[in-house]
Amino acid sequence: MNEEQYLTYVLQALYEEQASLNAAIEGKHTNIQQLQQYMNDYKAELDKFEVYDYEQTMRMLDQQGLQQVLRREEITKLIDSPYFGNFDFRYDGDDEAERFYIGRFGFRAPDDTTLIYDWRAPVCNMYYEFECGAAFYEAMEREFHGELTRKRQFKIEQSKLQYALDSSLTIQDEVLQQTLKAETSNKMKTIVTSIQREQNKIVRNVSANTLVIQGVAGSGKTAVALHRIAYFLYKFRDTLRPERIFILSPNQVFGDYISSVLPELGEQPIRSFTLDELTEQLLPASVSFTSFEAETKYMLQRPTSALTKRAAQKSDFAFLKTLQHFLAELDETMFTHEELTIAGVAFEPHYVQHRFLQYRSEPVETRLKLIVEDIIDVLKAKRDRGNIPSRTDILQRLKKRMRYTTPFSIYKQFLHTFDIPFLFKKKRFENNDVYPYLYVQHYMKGIKTYNMTQYFVLDEMQDYTPVQYAVLSKVFDCPRTIIGDFSQALLPYDTISKKAFEYLFRDLHYAELTTTYRSSYEIATYAKQFMRSGELHPIERHGKAPVERVYTSEAQMITFLKEALHSTHKTTAIICKTDAHVIQLHEALCDMPHTILDGTSKTFVHGVILTTIQYAKGLEFDAVIVPFVDATTYGSEFDRGLLYIAATRALHELTMLVSAKNCSPLLQLR
């Protein structure tokens, strides 16, 4: 049958399945209501075993009904767009090729014939991985070889076939081009219809325990990480649970922006958390801290401040190694060189020190308890009679010979030893001290661990320091995906590096994505001038060239800004560096509808958005306007990276409002 006939056949089967599910769901709802009514009518006559039996039956019906409701949602989505591609594969030794249709979800006919294959199925890897010719896939610990004789891509909307194209895997294919030309949505979209070969390799990589994805702006790295989760939930569906996946995202708006991807792929939504939310769970309740968000905002706008200098000293790889070395040496000198006599038995200093080092894989407090048990064993062996002191008494005797007994005293001594500044007022940490302190707390007392978490995902990796990663590796001892772009660092000092990653995670797999799909060729090429390092390869999707409008006064800049806002795009973002500029423009635009996106925002909205680089990062907009481009605002190499972030938010249009009198050197050096 031809493609139109096959679509009609599949749609008919989908409608029948939808009707069947509707009837089954309604039947279970009726059964539950009848059971509830029966229990209510005869509650005085039912014994506790009958009540329990009926309650179990209702729970079972409710769970079955929930699964059928979820499946009905998938079927409804498939009716709108059943599949997006197919391929013909002839197995070695066969005369005829077999055709496979690929969609967001799998679907079988009543006779158990597979009409649509889930994009995550092993056989569908060939669709993303191979062009026509020799191909293979792995399943059931075997390789199946043959020839890929044809590939097709479809666009089906509202159950109507828009087009069918014979295609190859080149990134310039028409389906990808049409996808990229679309306007933005208030939620991140799935990319199953346009996953590229290098992205597919990352999605299906199950051997990496820790996978770091370095991806340029617009490379799809966050979408890839989310599709990787969906793939893992499919492949390991008997053991991996959505509620046991932990996503660490930069802010609440970004968390909302990515929240629809997994549900669109048929998986349960996974709530993301910010670093500040996690930190609240890790720090003792007796202390407080300046939020990561607030401290980042302050340093972003004051990159030469005293706070920035304090934070910079604790941010790099050398600081972590210094701290680790200090704690290793402390192991050797933790106890004073005094003999310990308990119940008449003398314990030489080297005995306690030796036992302490024997247990060095444990926190100090655990080690002390183990030493207490060792001492009690010795006392029992040497004393035939008489009382042996309590464990608490022995523990207190040991602590009196320790140089430090709290994480805080150790951390203060460490900073003092290396002349590193430290501010701690009213039991409140600066954020730059939180994770170094937590690292010491882990050494001394241990730290809360998320043992139930089966998979950990961290976005915006470049804004975390090595010591933060060292703590997170203890908190989340499970497979990890870490994603980001070194060229999009928000902090005005060095943080993590590939070298540090390799030191922290011995089993590291490192992947790079250098092709950008977000911005037009013209915008991406323009933005390359602001990259700090690395390569960026734009695809051949052409559009309007970026515009640099030169103003001679701020009044003229406001005029240019208002002119640029008269567009038909769904989203236009005005991206500033500082809050002060946001407030200034908010007042200037009082006669024009717009929304401020900041730390209090919960969701991503359409329209004109006024925000800072800090909150725009990770998002994308149809049009972007960058005001106040002058030497005062953007004059340093750090500012070059900020302009890279701002410019690469744009999909279709980019306008730079540039000062004529105080021209930024970052533009002059182009």
Query: Does 222 appear as a known binding residue?
Result: yes
522: pLDDT strictly greater than 70:
yes
Q: Mind listing the pLDDT tens digit for each residue in 159-182?
A: 999 888 886 544 345 555 555 556
Under the banding of pLDDT at 50, 70 and 90, the label for residue 669 is very low
> Of all helices (H) and strands (E), which one includes residue 246?
strand 245-248
636: pLDDT strictly greater than 70:
yes
Strand pairing partners for 402? Answer: 335
Q: Crossing angle of helices 364-382/349-358, nearest 10°?
A: 130
577: which 2 tokens?
């560096």
Query: Does 260 appear as a known binding residue?
Result: no
Distance CA 574, CA 590 (A): 14
pLDDT score recorded for residue 150: 93
Q: Is 457 left (phi over 0), alpha (psi -120 to 50) or beta?
A: beta
> Of all helices (H) and strands (E), which one includes residue 633?
none
493-501 mean pLDDT: 94
Q: Say which residues have a Cβ less than 8 Å from residue 195's Cβ, sequence separation at least 6.
A: 128, 203, 224, 227
How many other CB atoms sit within 10 Å of the CB of residue 162? 11
pLDDT score recorded for residue 385: 56
Strand pairing partners for 575? Answer: 611
> Of all helices (H) and strands (E), which one includes residue 377?
helix 364-382
349-367 mean pLDDT: 94
User: For residue 89, which amino acid is it?
Assistant: F
pLDDT score recorded for residue 256: 82
How many other CB atoms sit within 10 Å of the CB of residue 659? 22
Under the banding of pLDDT at 50, 70 and 90, the label for residue 50 is confident
556: pLDDT strictly greater than 80:
yes
**Global pTM value:** 0.88
Q: Are 274 and 249 contacting, i.e. CB atoms less than 8 angstroms apart?
A: yes
Query: Does 648 appear as a known binding residue?
Result: no
Q: Where are the domains of the chain?
A: 3-80, 83-170, 200-283+448-516, 335-400, 521-659
Query: Does 218 appear as a known binding residue?
Result: yes
Query: Does 528 appear as a known binding residue?
Result: no
What percent of the chain stands above pLDDT 90?
A: 72
Query: Does 185 appear as a known binding residue?
Result: no
Under the banding of pLDDT at 50, 70 and 90, the label for residue 28 is confident
pLDDT score recorded for residue 171: 39
Q: Say which residues have a Cβ less than 8 Å from residue 351's Cβ, sequence separation at least 6.
A: none
Distance CA 580, CA 589 (A): 14
How many other CB atoms sit within 10 Å of the CB of residue 384? 6
- Collect contacts of 407-414 with beta carbons under 8 A, ≥24 apart: 407/437, 407/440, 407/441, 407/443, 407/444, 407/445, 408/437, 410/327, 410/330, 410/440, 410/443, 410/444, 411/436, 411/437, 411/440, 414/323, 414/326, 414/440
Between these two residues, 457 and 251, which has the higher pLDDT value? 457
Domains 200-283+448-516 and 521-659 agree in fold = yes
Helices (H), 383-464: 391-399, 407-417, 431-444
Strands (E), 394-534: 424-425, 428-429, 455-458, 480-484, 508-513, 515-516
Distance CA 244, CA 486 (A): 28
Q: Which of 23-37, 323-337, 530-544 has the highest mean pLDDT?
A: 323-337
Query: Does 217 appear as a known binding residue?
Result: yes
Lowest mean pLDDT among 270-274, 282-286, 357-361: 270-274
Query: Does 473 appear as a known binding residue?
Result: no
pLDDT score recorded for residue 178: 59
CATH class of 521-659: alpha beta
CATH class of 200-283+448-516: alpha beta
Q: Is 214 exposed, middle or buried, given 0-12, 13-18 or 19+ CB atoms closer than 10 A?
A: buried
User: For residue 64, which amino acid is it?
Assistant: Q
231: pLDDT strictly greater than 70:
yes
